[in-house]
Every structure is written in C-alpha cells, then in structure tokens.
Amino acid sequence: LTPELQRGAPARASQLLALWTFLGDGLSRPPATPVLQVWGPAGAGKTEVLAGFLQATGLRHIRLDAACFCSLGELQARMVEEIRRSVVASFPAAPRDVQQRVPPGRQLRALDRLEAALRPSLEHLSHVVGSNGEGGKAAGSSHGSGDACKRGSDKVVVVIDHAQELPRLNPCGLDLLLGLPEALHLGGQLIFVFVSRLPLSHLGVLPAREPPSIAFPSYTAAEAETALFKSLLEWSKQDDVGCGAQIVHSEREIHSLCSSGLMKFAVPYLGHNLHDLLRIGEEVLRRPDAVGGSLLTLQKQVEELVQQRLGLPDLSKLLEPGEKMDSSSAATIAAMRGMTKAEKRLILAAYLAARIDKDDDMQLFLPEGRKRQRKRTAVVKKRPNGEDGPAFLRTPRPVPLPRFLAIYHRLARQGHLLGPPLLEHIMSLKDAGLLRFAGGCVASLDRDPKIVCRVELPLARACAAELNVDMAEYLCRD
C-alpha cells in the first residue's frame, strides 16, 4: 500500500488502512466482513481511494453505479454479467455455461433466479482456485485480476457506487442486497461495498443491520490544495491531455493555479469537492492563455467554468449586442425589461419596508416628517442587536400588507391605486420568487397577511434609478 499512501497523501492514510483491515489483501489476510459501507460527502475521494486500494491489492472486483439503473432487477442482472466477465477474463478456458452471456435487458428480481444465474461463475471460480491454487493463466482484466487472483482468492468484491440511489430502485433494495451474502448458497464468495454520501442508517437500514463503516470527511483547505497540485501535476505530464498543441506547464504555474485560482475563485462555490475542482483545473490547463497571464484573466476563466459546472446559464447572452457587463448586472437588466412601472415600484416598496423600522415611517414618508428631517442635524440611532452594518446586509423582516401598500402609495405619490391590476402585479412578483407571503396566502380575521421581500440590492437599486428615487435618503440615515 505504500504507493497508494504516497499517491493519496497522508489525509487518507487512515481510510486506506481501514480498507485493508476489513477487506484484507486477498493473500495472507482474509476479509473480515461480508458487507462494508464507505460514506462521505461528494469529492472526498471515496471512489478513487477504494479503486486504488483494490487495484493495488489485486482483489477481484466489479463496480456498479446505482444511479445508472432503473430497477433492482436490472442492477442484479448487471452484477451477474460483470461477475461472469471477471471470471472469464481470469480463466479463458471456462466451461460453456460460464461463457454464456446474460441476455440484454433481462432483469433478475427473484432470489432463486439470481442464485441460478450466479452459480456457474462462482462454482467454477471456487473449483479452479481450490484445485490448483493458481487458477490457470490469468489474463489482464479491468475487473481486478491481479496477484490475489493468481494465488487462489475466490472472493469477488462488488462495489455499488451511489448507494443512496438504491431506495429509488426499490424501497427494500438495501435490505435485500445486505442479506445476499447470507441468503445465497455461494454468497460467502461475495463481498459487498456500498459507497454513498450518507451512512446506510440514514437511508432506512436498521441500526442492528448496519455494516461496519469507513467515513471519509471533507478535505481541509491545505489537504485540498496539496491533492489538487499533485493530481494536476501528474495529469499535465500525460501525453493525451487533449490540449491540441503541445502546452507545457511548470510546477510554479500549476501551484499558482491551485492557490490563486481554484482555492480563491472556485472553492467558495464548490467547496472542497476534488472531483469538480480537478475537472475545472484540467479545463484551465487546456487553455493556453489562462495560466501565466493576469489574475483577472484567470478569475474570469475559473468563474466561467464554475458557472458551467453548477449548471447555471450564461446570462451575458441576455444583453443587447454591444452591451458588456458582469453576470449579476446582466440578470438585473434582463429582469427589468419585462416589468411595468407598478411592478418596479412594488419591488422598491417591499425592499424599503423590509429594512426600515416602522417607527420611522412618518418621518421618512410623510411630508411633515421629511421637513423636520431636513431641519435636524444627523442623529445616530441605536439599533438592536444584529442590526448593525449597511442596510442591504440586514435580515429582511416580514412586512404587514397594509404597511407595504401604504409605502407603495407614497412612492407613487398617488392615492386610491388599490385594485385588481395592483393585486395581479403582487401575485406575479410572488410567482417570480421576488415576494413571498409569510405562512402562505392564508390570513385570519385578526391578523394581517405579511410579505417577505426576497429582492437583492442590485435589482432594488435598478428599480430606484428607473423611478428617480434616492435610496440613500431612506436607508443611509446613520
């Protein structure tokens, strides 16, 4: 395991040793459990470390991704076929019933049919390994036919990735797979390893049936940066990096990409998910002008790839030809185009009402109060705890509907605007996610409905500029 320990860094040394404890090495140390769970957040190295361990020890294994199947019968049929291929790859002179493939599209739901489909491959594996100890000449296989296979190991490790998807295939799927080593006649030759983002107890498995577990915690910032640098340095030395022209990056450039690019501009959105960070780093290294240039160019490249990784659209396409601005400004401009003045005024009224104390309404919105405000000098008002800082950083408070409509009328400088059109505008903003009714739209006779503002500062500022309203007069009073 020394190469894997050096490759995986000390951050995953305890997990590698735990795998060796539970799964053995296929030679002198036998497996200690028929079922094992490996869990941790996305990008914590679960699949990579487990695959490296199985490859290093030479344990015969297959891998199934539960997210790629539609039913438990389909997954079990694929498991039978992968085990058959692994046995045939190790022992090409297998009998005819082992050479026969599982028909495409076949599903194995019943336990007796699964037993009958698995028996030829497992019996042949046990017979050949037990008869001569070597099992014939092992051909190279991607299913893990290494030294352990050649020296007489009749065990097959079945790795089920994304095990959190198994309840979607069958509500009792996890319990059925957990019981296969005991239910099947030759189940002692199977070792199931469930890889998931949550412990199996969180997926409906009773604590009494929960198998031993190996937890993979998230990488720390230092561990993530070290792993990124090693992986990207190794990737850049490959011949088929897909760069088109030959691009050679120095260790200093790759280290700068990791520390100044990925850790600063990608981690705040993706966390320490090495899977996503590595894909972004590889894409940046494929571009000749991204590394070695200015920090601003690197920031734009990384943020663009992060946006694509998160599945967010390119909002700059919403602008008119010739307009150039960032994504937040482009989203604001696109949202403003389809709004009426009444909707813009409603947005501004909700934003101000959620951040202005109701005791200041008379002074801010009534004419006599504004006159007194001009004559007085600046007074620092003591705010309650948690209300310090700029107004746009304060938590928006629910606003009673009468107060919200009163502020709207004062901003419009007109009276008697309440009617079906105005209520339709309020509901359209609610459907757009800009406003929300606290507790739903149901109101009691003794309590007014309250509105929660979900508008961000850029949109509120754009609406105020469109309506010639100075937001500083209402929010910057301290």
Name the nearest CA neighbour of 402 among 349, 366, 362, 449.
449
Cα distance between residue 368 and residue 361, in whole Å: 12
Q: Hey, which of 52-66, 283-297, 318-332 has the most confident mean pLDDT?
A: 52-66
Residues 435-448 pLDDT 10s: 988 876 555 667 78
Looking at residue 377, the DSSP 8-state letter turns out to be P
Which carries the bigger pLDDT value, residue 124 or residue 312?
Answer: 124
pLDDT at 373 exceeding the cut of 60: no
DSSP assignment of 29-86, as one string? S--S-SEEEEE-STTSSHHHHHHHHHHHHT--EEEEEGGG-SSHHHHHHHHHHHHHHH
Q: What is the pLDDT of residues 64-91, one digit of tens each?
A: 999 999 999 999 999 999 999 999 998 8
Nearest to 304 by CA among 313, 294, 292: 313
Strand 190-196: give its sheet, edge to edge.
61-65, 156-161, 190-196, 35-39, 213-215
The DSSP secondary-structure symbol of 271 reads -
**Tens digits of per-residue pLDDT, 216-230?**
999 999 999 998 998
Q: Spell out where 342-468 has E strands.
A: 399-400, 435-437, 450-453
pTM confidence score: 0.68
Q: Which amino acid is at 290?
A: A
pLDDT tens figures, 307-334: 888 877 766 666 666 666 666 667 677 7
Counting other chains too, the contacts that 103-108 makes at CB distance below 8 Å and 24 or more residues apart are 106/77, 107/71, 107/73, 107/74, 107/76, 107/77, 108/73, 108/76, 108/77, 108/80
Q: What is the pLDDT of residues 392-411, one digit of tens each?
A: 677 888 999 989 999 998 88
